[in-house]
């Protein structure tokens, strides 16, 4: 009976060890995935900063006005807006 108890104890210890190693492997996999996601998030945040800076530069009124004048565009008159809106 004692031998059976020892064998069952050893089997239980081996099973717990195997479960612990499995969990440890799963945790390390999740940590690698988290690291990759954090890295991707940082890259996306940097891309958003660049896009915002580009938007600010491209939408500067002085720059747009200068480009419009060099291309021969005229300012929109109120009559043009009224004609375009009224059908």
Helix (H), strand (E), coil (C) string for the chain: CHHHHHHHHHHHHHHHHHHHHHHHHHHHHHHHHHHHHHHHHHHHHHHHHHHHHHHHHHCCHHHHHHHHHHCCCCCCCHHHHHHHHCC
Task: Look at the pTM and tell me if it is higher than 0.75.
Answer: no
Residue-wise pLDDT tens digits, 19-62 = 888 888 888 889 999 999 999 999 999 999 999 999 999 888 88
pLDDT at 40 (0 to 100): 97
């Amino acid at each position: 009976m004692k031998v059976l108890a020892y064998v069952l104890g050893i089997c239980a210890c081996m099973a717990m060890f195997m479960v612990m190693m499995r969990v440890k492997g799963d945790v390390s996999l999740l940590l690698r995935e988290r690291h990759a996601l954090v890295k991707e998030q940082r890259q996306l945040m940097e891309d958003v900063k660049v896009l915002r800076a580009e938007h600010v530069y491209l939408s500067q009124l002085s720059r747009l006005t200068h480009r419009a004048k060099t291309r021969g565009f005229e300012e929109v008159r109120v009559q043009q807006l009224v004609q375009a809106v009224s059908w």
